[in-house]
Structure 1
């Protein structure tokens, strides 16, 4: 995409530098990343960045124009949490990097979420690419690290003492994103707490902090509802659906409101046409679409090649969508002359009194397989896994 940067990176790349890169990440977090780290960043043009921002702006405006009643329909009755908020604190949008009929590289919306992604990790990730390959610094994110930290602190900690703010997860030490939890703790001075460790007294929540029972006033929530459903005999003192004296960051209802549920409602040249399964028109060809459950995470349940037999067998058709297929274009050349595909996630925050979200960072994911998931790649594949995008002039 930017030949001069791709050429220089491939010339400078070595296995020793890749090992050094991962070593620095471990030193900064005291944790080994358990997800695969791509050897390479993603280099994209400023023109492509403009297309991303244009599509995102349109999507955000369309969401803001939806009624509260429409968004409320997205929340399953058994997952509804009290004390909803007017807007989410976090907002992320995923785009595939594709080629249109005219041969132009363009983004295509894959999905969107009002759920925090790897905000702390991606900033460190970006910094580390620039440390190991200094020439990249000239096209790095212009936001200073201190400004980035202040934005995250403002949104997560707010005006509370950090000891009264927790990052909430279920069995956090077992999560693939544990490295982001650790970096968030170091950045903001908060603690990561397992849902099973939360204590409840009346409407107040507590956790044990250095041997002292400490009140929780803000929860940076990283728990996924449908993940809880898959844990047998889960015992907790606190149920999400209870009315408690805490501020949710982001409120759990927004996980459902900003989700695949919205895809059939959005229109833009970079938004593939989507339908709810029960509204899929007979004039469309099923083979042109991907089947996705509304309520799933990290690509689980996605069927790239749905058949009529599969869709007919689904009873709760209103909980599935069909999204027109897009083709990721393999344009990121590795040192062996092979090419990877990629998608990019834009990481926004949305402050409570702001009319519009603020773009903080991005997250890239690279693959050589049909799905953007390293499990589907050959074991010896390179230029696959988690990455970071840099935008510059051609």
Structure 2
């Protein structure tokens, strides 16, 4: 999207360079199970400024005094975790890159989460792109004046807090074997924290422990990567560890309730040029006559699961719980990234860190490229120049 950068990059690109890049990315870690795209994104200053402005509008909503009140119904009763704190530690906003009526590139909000993303891996990914390809320093993957050192310092403050690294762990149902395990490994290298599967953690009274070299070490803070949807059908997994819904002596980063509060549930409360018209399905009094221009999304799902792209009146009438769905105007992605074989659609995730007692800070980003009907791995399995990437933004 920065023409000179794109032309220069495409001229130097070869399949051999890409293979060397992937080898460098996986060196010292493990094979990456998700597809990494052949190219970074080159984001012009005008688009960067719109992305920043769009994010600030969303944060204004989240910081409203009544935000918890208006999002209380977002938390399923069966997954309400006690001891919720006053703020999320992570904010991620996904924007599709589109064109506005003036023909300018503009972001449109697709998804939002009060949940962590690849905060460690994106630094490694950007550094590896720079190492393997000739990319000049007129762009940066960081925002808001951050560089690698100041970013790692803030990441450490947010994730470790006042504790020692060995008292903090990144936790998922089977953390070492998750698709995002490389992010856990990079984060461990950056911060020195533990990587624990749910089953590695044992409850004694109200305290949590893990074993290392025959010793029981108390866990003080959990960098939570467990999404409850993944274990909803198998809550027996908690019996051999601990149940997050019980009172336990632990600090959450970020507390699980924020996953629900800041989500698709929040989007109907936003009115902005950067947010497509979004309504709770149970509040739609008249079905739009141009229903082909809308998409139907379940509130409580992730990774695009359950989304109905080509909506019919019958689809709407068949939904038994319309309060748990949103009807959203479709977003038309602009194939703005020029690959050797044509335009590719792009999405940018703006990633914030929110330290205890501080303010949310925009730090870094994540990109995804797509040629399929939707953004996401399962919709792009047969294409090249698609997958996860990072945005280099014009300074």
Provide the TM-score with structure 1 as the length reference: 0.95
* Aligned pairs, number: 389
Contact map agreement 2:176 2:196 (CA 8 A) in 1: no
Aligned to 2:361: 358
Aligned to 1:77: 77
Aligned to 2:155: 152
Residues 221-300 of structure 1 aligned to structure 2 (within 5 Å): 221-231=224-234, 233-234=236-237, 235-282=239-286, 284-285=288-289, 286-300=291-305
Secondary structure of 2:211 counterpart = strand
Contact map agreement 1:98 1:106 (CA 8 A) in 2: yes
Deviations 1:124-169 (A, max 9, x none): 1111111112334331235222111111110001111111101110
Residues 151-230 of structure 1 aligned to structure 2 (within 5 Å): 151-230=154-233
Q: CA deviation at 1:101?
A: 2.5
Contact map agreement 2:207 2:249 (CA 8 A) in 1: yes
Q: CA deviation at 1:174?
A: 2.9
Q: CA deviation at 1:230?
A: 3.6
How large is the RMSD of aligned CA atoms in angstroms?
1.5
Q: CA deviation at 1:210?
A: 3.0
Aligned to 2:332: 327
Aligned to 1:52: 51
Secondary structure of 1:137 counterpart = coil
Deviations 1:31-86 (A, max 9, x none): 11110010001111100000011111011102211512212221111111111111
Contact map agreement 1:291 1:304 (CA 8 A) in 2: yes
Unaligned stretches of 5+ in structure 1?
A: none
Aligned to 1:302: 307
Residues 33-52 of structure 1 aligned to structure 2 (within 5 Å): 33-52=32-51
Distance in 1 between the 2:302 and 2:213 partners? 33
Aligned to 1:383: 385
Q: Among residues 315, 318, 340, which one is paired with 2:320 in the alignment?
A: 315
Q: CA deviation at 1:197?
A: 2.1
Distance in 2 between the 1:133 and 1:233 partners? 48
Distance in 1 between the 2:381 and 2:176 partners? 28
Distance in 2 between the 1:213 and 1:77 partners? 33
Aligned to 1:65: 64
Unaligned stretches of 5+ in structure 2?
A: none
Residues 56-135 of structure 1 aligned to structure 2 (within 5 Å): 56-65=55-64, 67=66, 68-135=68-135
Distance in 2 between the 1:210 and 1:257 partners? 39
Distance in 1 between the 2:322 and 2:26 partners? 44
Contact map agreement 2:279 2:328 (CA 8 A) in 1: yes
Distance in 2 between the 1:219 and 1:47 partners? 38
Q: CA deviation at 1:268?
A: 0.6
Distance in 2 between the 1:303 and 1:219 partners? 35
Cα gap change, 1:232 to 1:199, in 2 (>3 Å): closer
Secondary structure of 1:314 counterpart = coil
Distance in 2 between the 1:43 and 1:99 partners? 16
Contact map agreement 1:99 1:105 (CA 8 A) in 2: yes
